[in-house]
Amino acid sequence: MDQLCIQGGKRLHGTVTISGAKNSAVALIPAAILGEERITIENLPTIRDVVIYKQILEQLNARVMHEKDTLIVEPFNLACQPIRDGLVTELRASYYLMGAMLGRFKESCVGLPGGCDLGPRPIDQHLKGFQALGASIEQKSGSIYLRANELMGAKIYLDVVSVGATINIMLAAVKAKGQTIIENAAKEPEIVDVATILTSMGADIKGAGTDIIKINGVSYLGGCKHSIIPDRIEAGTYMIAAAATRGEVLLDNVIPKHMEPITAKLREIGVEVEESDDQMLVRGSANYRAIDIKTLPYPGFPTDLQQPITSLLTQVQGCSLVTDNIYNSRFRHIDELKRMGANVKVEGRAALIEGSTPLQGAQVNATDLRAGAALIVAGLSAKGITRINGVQYIDRGYERIEEKLQKLGAEIWREQIPEQ
C-alpha cells in the first residue's frame, strides 16, 4: 500500500496540462461496444477507472489496444456474457455496461456498481428507463438481469437529474426502434461528449446538453475517432490548489466555459482568473473573503469539487457555508481536515467552515476520491508533513497527480506504508 506525503507551504507556480475527463472516459469506453467497427478514443486519462474498464472489455472478448493517451476498441467478437462481480464492483461507471450491453444484445447481466461511498447511490432511474424501453428487470444475488424481445423508443421523465441515468438510457436507446425522449435530463458536458461519440458512430441524438434529449433509433452503429473533453473536475482541483497556496498556475487544455461555475466562486473568494481559448491563468492573493456554496447539477457548482474547495475555505477569513444538495453525506473528509486544525461543523447536508485556521501536517485518511483531493489541497497549505492513506481512491481519477504537482513546485512524493 502506498501513501502520498506532502511537505506543505510551497507556492504552486507553472503550467499544468489537464487530462481527458474521467466521467467521459468511463462512459465512452462502454459506448464503443455498441459499434460494429473500430473506435479510436483519444485524450484518454491514464487512471485506475480506465484501466479497469479496459480489462472488463477484454473479459468480454473485445480487442483493446492502449498506447499513451489513445485507446482503440474493436468490439467485433464481443461476447454476450454476465459480468457479475470482481471488476464491476471497483468503479461506479460499470453501470454503463447495463445500457450498452442491453443496446447491443437486448440483454445483460451486470453486478451492482461500486465507486466512491458517498451515502446511498440508487440506480432506480436507470432501471425505470430500461423498463420504459421494454426491458424486464430481475435483481438476483447482487446482479441486475435485463432482457428485452425488442427495445422500443419511449418518453422517460427522470424524477431526479441524474448523469448516470441520462447516459445509460442514451446507450440503451440509440439502437431501439422509434423515438426516445428523455425529459429532465442531466446537462453535464460529459453527456454532450457521449452524445458526440455516438453521433459520430451513426446515432441520431438531438438536445444533449439541454434537459430534453431526443433519440431516433438506428439499426447500425459504425466506428469513429473521438477526442475526450478535458476533465473539468481535475482542472478545478488544480485551480483550488493554486488558490490555496497563493500561487500562480496556468492550466492548459481546458474549456473555460465548462469551468464557469468554479471560476465564479473562486472570483467571489478573491482569486484572479483569466481565460483564453483553451487555457486559464489562476492567481492567488493574500486577501480572500468567505463565501457560501451550494452544489447543484450542471451548470451549478459540482459536488465533485465540494470537498476540495472546503479545504480552501479553511484558509479564508470569516465563516463559509457549504451545502451539498446532491449527496447528503459527502463530508467524510471533514474529520480528517479537523485533525489538521480546521474548524468545521457539519449539520445534515451543510458544513460551516470557520476560517482562517492554520493547518498542521498530519497522518490522514482519504475515504474517497475527492476526499483525497481535499486532503492534498490541505496538505499543500499546511505547515509540516501530511501523509495521506487511501491513495488507491485518488488514483481512480487523477492522472500522475504527484508528478503534475511536483512540476508546479510542490514537495510531494509517494512512499510505501511500512508493514505493521
Ligand X SMILES: CC(=O)N[C@H]1[C@@H](OP(=O)(O)OP(=O)(O)OC[C@H]2O[C@@H](n3ccc(=O)[nH]c3=O)[C@H](O)[C@@H]2O)O[C@H](CO)[C@@H](O)[C@@H]1O
Ligand Y SMILES: C=C(OP(=O)(O)O)C(=O)O
Asked if residue 370 binds ligand Y (CB under 6 A), the reply is yes
Catalytic residue among 5, 109, 116, 224: 116
Spatial strand order in the sheet of 39-42:
63-67, 70-74, 39-42, 224-227
CA distance 321 to 311: 12
- 3-class secondary-structure state, position 140: strand
| 163: partner contacted, choices ligand X, ligand Y, none (Cβ within 5-8 A by kind) | ligand X
**Number of separate helices (H) and strands (E) present in the chain:** 13, 23
According to CB under 6 A, which one of 173, 369, 371, 380 is a site residue for ligand Y?
A: 369
* Binding flags for ligand X, 75-104, as an x/- string (CB under 6 A): -----------------xx-----------
* Binding flags for ligand Y, 301-320, as an x/- string (CB under 6 A): ---x----------------
Grid cell digits, residue 7: 511537505
Asked if residue 226 binds ligand X (CB under 6 A), the reply is no
294 is in an annotated binding site: no
CA distance 418 to 405: 24
Angle at 85 between CA 168 and CA 328, to 5 degrees: 55
Asked if residue 116 binds ligand Y (CB under 6 A), the reply is yes
Asked if residue 162 binds ligand X (CB under 6 A), the reply is yes
Candidate ranges 10-18, 79-87, 156-164, 314-322; the one touching ligand X (CB under 6 A)? 156-164
- Scanning the structure block, which residue is given the C-alpha cell 457555508? 321
Closest CA to 104 of 129, 78, 130: 78
CA distance 203 to 25: 19
According to CB under 6 A, which one of 9, 70, 327, 343 is a site residue for ligand X?
A: 327
According to CB under 6 A, which one of 19, 94, 303, 320 is a site residue for ligand X?
A: 303
The DSSP code for 354 is: E
22 is in an annotated binding site: yes
CA distance 334 to 345: 8
Residue of minimal CB distance from ligand X? 164
Candidate ranges 32-40, 86-94, 276-284, 286-294; the one touching ligand Y (CB under 6 A)? 86-94
326 is in an annotated binding site: yes
Closest CA to 83 of 63, 53, 49: 53
Asked if residue 172 binds ligand X (CB under 6 A), the reply is no
- 3-class secondary-structure state, position 333: helix
* Residue 230 or 247 with smaller CB distance to ligand X: 230
* Residue 44 or 369 with smaller CB distance to ligand Y: 369
3-state helix, strand, coil in the chain (%, to 5): 35, 30, 35
According to CB under 6 A, which one of 92, 232, 258, 404 is a site residue for ligand Y?
A: 92
* Residue 300 or 409 with smaller CB distance to ligand X: 300
Q: What is the CA radius of gyration of the chain?
A: 21
* Binding flags for ligand Y, 10-39, as an x/- string (CB under 6 A): ------------x-----------------
Grid cell digits, residue 197: 461519440
According to CB under 6 A, which one of 124, 274, 292, 403 is a site residue for ligand X?
A: 124
Active site residue 116: yes
Cis peptide upstream of residue 356 (ω within 30 degrees of 0): yes
What is the residue-wise DSSP string for 291-320?
A: -EEEE-STTSB-GGGHHHHHHHHTTSBEEE
Asked if residue 332 binds ligand Y (CB under 6 A), the reply is no
The residues carrying an active-site annotation are 116
For ligand X, the binding residues (CB under 6 A) are 23, 26, 92-93, 121-126, 160, 162-165, 186, 303-304, 326-327
- The annotated binding site for phosphoenolpyruvate is made up of 22-23
For ligand Y, the binding residues (CB under 6 A) are 22, 91-93, 115-116, 304, 369-370, 397
